[in-house]
Structure 1
Amino acid sequence: MIERALLLDVDGVLVTPPELFGTRLLRAYPQAAGEFFGGPFLEASQGRADLRAVLPPYLERFGHAGTLEAFLAEWFGSENHPNLPMLDAVRELRALGWPTYLATNQEHHRVRYLLEDMQLAALTDGEFSSASVGVRKPDPVYFGEVARRLKLPPRQIVFWDDAPANVNAAAEAGWQAHLFTDTAHFRTVMNLPPTSP
Structure 2
Amino acid sequence: MTPDAVIFDIGNVLIEWQPERFYDRVIGAERRAAFFGAIDLHGMNDRIDRGEPFAAVIAEVAAANPDWAKEIRMWQDRWIDMAAPAIDDSVDILRALRRAGVPVFALSNFGIETFQIGREHYPFLEEFDRHYISGHMGVTKPDPRIYEMVEDDCGVTPERLLFTDDRPENIMAASERGWQAHLFDGPVGWARRLVAAGLITRGALA
Residue 59 of structure 2 corresponds to residue 56 of structure 1:
yes
Deviations 1:91-115 (A, max 9, x none): 0111111121221111111111222
TM-score normalised according to structure 2 size = 0.79
The one-letter code matched in structure 1 to 2:36 is P
What does 1:1-197 align with in structure 2 at a 5 Å threshold? 4-17=4-17, 19-20=18-19, 24=23, 27-30=33-36, 33-34=39-40, 37-38=42-43, 40-47=44-51, 49-59=52-62, 60-64=66-70, 72-191=76-195, 192-193=201-202
Deviates most, 72-81 or 88-97 = 72-81
Unaligned runs of 5+ in 2: 25-31, 196-200
Q: 1:71 to 1:42 in 2, by over 3 A?
A: closer
- Cα drift, residue 33 of structure 1: 2.8
More helix per residue: 1 or 2?
2
Unaligned runs of 5+ in 1: none
- Cα drift, residue 123 of structure 1: 2.6
Q: 1:30 to 1:16 in 2, by over 3 A?
A: closer
How far apart, CA to CA, are the structure 2 residues paired with 1:150 and 1:95?
Answer: 20
Question: What SS does the aligned partner of 1:190 have?
Answer: helix
How many residues align? The count is 188
The one-letter code matched in structure 2 to 1:97 is G
How far apart, CA to CA, are the structure 1 residues paired with 2:140 and 2:91?
Answer: 24
Contact persistence 1:6–1:99 (CA under 8 A): yes
Deviations 1:139-194 (A, max 9, x none): 11111111111111111211001111111110001111111112111111111306
Contact persistence 1:21–1:79 (CA under 8 A): no
TM-score normalised according to structure 1 size = 0.82
